[in-house]
Structure 1
Amino acid sequence: MKIPHLLIAIFTLALFNCKQEVWQIKQIKGKQIAITDSLKADPEIEAFIKPFREHVNKDLDSVLSYAVDTYSKSDGEFNTAIGNLFADVVYEQANPIFFKKTGKNIDMVLLNHGGIRSIISKGPVTSRTAYEIMPFENSIVVVGLKGSQINLLIDYLIKAKRAHPIAKLNLILDINDHLKEATISGKPIDVIKTYYVATNDYLYSGGDHMTFFKPEESIVFLDYKIRNAFIDYFKKTDTISPVIDNRFIKLKK
């Protein structure tokens, strides 16, 4: 059976005229809604959340330790009590894990001054304290660096003139800010030796312009958050009493 020419023409014309409509955004409107006491809470949502909130708050506010004083990252020039605590806690908590994985010990720790996000107040220390001083999800990594790269790390610390938390590394500057002495665990830096430096994944990736971590000799991810290291440390330590010491100092004369 042949289709009439007229029917073919009508079908073809209809096909070309069936264009899909294109929608385009002409205007976007919005307004700011202030979050104030005038906004009423939904009773059903509040009732649903309440038991979860109470459970979380109970865990966060359980007393784990006690701080004998209030500690701030602005308390010292080249090292601070809270910064020393940060570095020492990372070493103490991370070294057994690293040793179990590799059979080696961590040689030193380097963290960043800006990573300390709150003070530790005198009095009870809780899990909430750990979340306040370290709200980020940063995890501990251990990077193998040649001594020549350790010297670049030291140059960075001298130029930064900030109390970046360090452990096991000792630096002495003269009155003119020139390096007088640098040791790791009391020994001079060996430029061909590989040192195992504990830090966090943010700094390893170049955060705070710490580009000296790459290229590395090795990298071990401990899958251990710094915040969790603090919580574990607080649980086993009755009293928190860090001090400013001589791990990074400048001579007065």
Structure 2
Amino acid sequence: MKKHILILALAALSACNPSYHLTNRTANRIGVDSVTASTDSSVVNFLQPYRQGLEKTMNEVLAHSSGRIEKGQPEAPLNDLLTDALLKQAIQRYGKPIDCSHLNFGGIRSNLPEGNITIGSIFEVMPFDNQLMVLTVKGDMLQQMLNHFAKGNKLVVGGLQAKIHDEQVQSVTFTNGRTLQPTETYTIVMSDYVANGGDDAGFLKNPIKSENINYLMRDALIDYFREQGKTGQLINPVSDGRIRIE
């Protein structure tokens, strides 16, 4: 008897669920912007203190530049300035010497203006929350990294000079006096993005040592420019010829 009741119940349920199929679809675009959407004054008033605080922070002047500082290939003033700044600040945080610094060219998202360099300017250049990593590697891995980024003239480094021929680095001279030898060990400071294999640099995932120094790249740059501003000297946008194409 219970079996018959179950069968009847299932039949009733199936009869109550007719099949459906899509016969037509339409779409309308609804624009929402400052013209079509009215302002909610209560929300505006609530956010106003936070907005004022944010604007005050972003408008803080860190330093002054005598001209616009731009990135470029194979080398440019901004490339050199940023990698030198990251190397200097990383050495201070790390507490030990670091041979060189690297910055992926695509990670430089804007240029720096002539005149006031503000915290907002640094956020435009470096909007991502990337950490600084110190990698200890053998010379042959460092050579592989330099060759990798030399392709397409995307090599952005501090602490060394490199000569490039046919998109391969032929010679390297470190500003600390070292030379590049395949079996010697070197330290490089770079973003966690590249250290973890970003920008097709998967070969960097297996260094001798990888250390996160708990320092945002953006914070390192802010600290650097704030220190430069305290000296009262203008920042001059120049390149030093560290990348040479032969």
Map of 2:34 onto structure 1: 37
- Provide structure 1 residue ranges, at least 5 long, that are not aligned to the other structure: none
Residue 167 (structure 1) aligned to one of 112, 137, 158: 158
Map of 2:54 onto structure 1: 56
* 2:149 maps to 1:144: no
Instruction: State whether residues 172 and 180 of structure 2, in contact with CA within 8 Å, keep that contact through their aligned partners in structure 1.
Output: yes
Larger radius of gyration: 1
Letter in 2 for 1:110: H
Give the structure-1-normalised TM-score.
0.82
Map of 2:145 onto structure 1: 153
SS, match of residue 31 in structure 2: coil
- 1:214, distance to aligned residue in structure 2 (A): 2.8
- 1:212, distance to aligned residue in structure 2 (A): 3.3
SS, match of residue 182 in structure 1: strand
* Aligned 1:31-180 pairs, distance under 5 A: 31-39=28-36, 40-74=38-72, 77-99=73-95, 104-162=96-154, 164-173=155-164, 179-180=169-170
Q: Please give the per-residue CA displacement for 1:115-147, whole angstroms capped at 9, x wherever unaligned.
A: 111110101111101111111111100111100
Matched residues in 2 for 1:212 and 1:155: separation? 12
Matched residues in 1 for 2:35 and 2:130: separation? 37
Query: Structure 1 stretches (4+) deviating beyond 6 angstroms?
Result: 20-29
Give the structure-2-normalised TM-score.
0.84
Count of equivalent residues: 237
Residue 183 (structure 1) aligned to one of 173, 185, 191: 173
- 1:23, distance to aligned residue in structure 2 (A): 11
Matched residues in 2 for 1:194 and 1:128: separation? 38
C-alpha spacing 1:233/1:16, structure 2 compared with 1 (3 Å): same
- 1:43, distance to aligned residue in structure 2 (A): 1.3
Task: Name the % identity.
Answer: 24
* Aligned 1:210-221 pairs, distance under 5 A: 210-221=201-212
SS, match of residue 218 in structure 2: helix
Instruction: Give the RMSD, CA atoms, in angstroms.
Output: 2.7
C-alpha spacing 1:23/1:65, structure 2 compared with 1 (3 Å): farther
- Provide structure 2 residue ranges, at least 5 long, that are not aligned to the other structure: none
- 1:67, distance to aligned residue in structure 2 (A): 1.2
Matched residues in 1 for 2:122 and 2:94: separation? 22
C-alpha spacing 1:180/1:217, structure 2 compared with 1 (3 Å): closer
Instruction: State whether residues 108 and 167 of structure 1, in contact with CA within 8 Å, keep that contact through their aligned partners in structure 2.
Output: yes
Letter in 2 for 1:183: T
Matched residues in 2 for 1:23 and 1:183: separation? 74
Matched residues in 2 for 1:83 and 1:207: separation? 19
Letter in 1 for 2:103: L
Map of 1:202 onto structure 2: 193
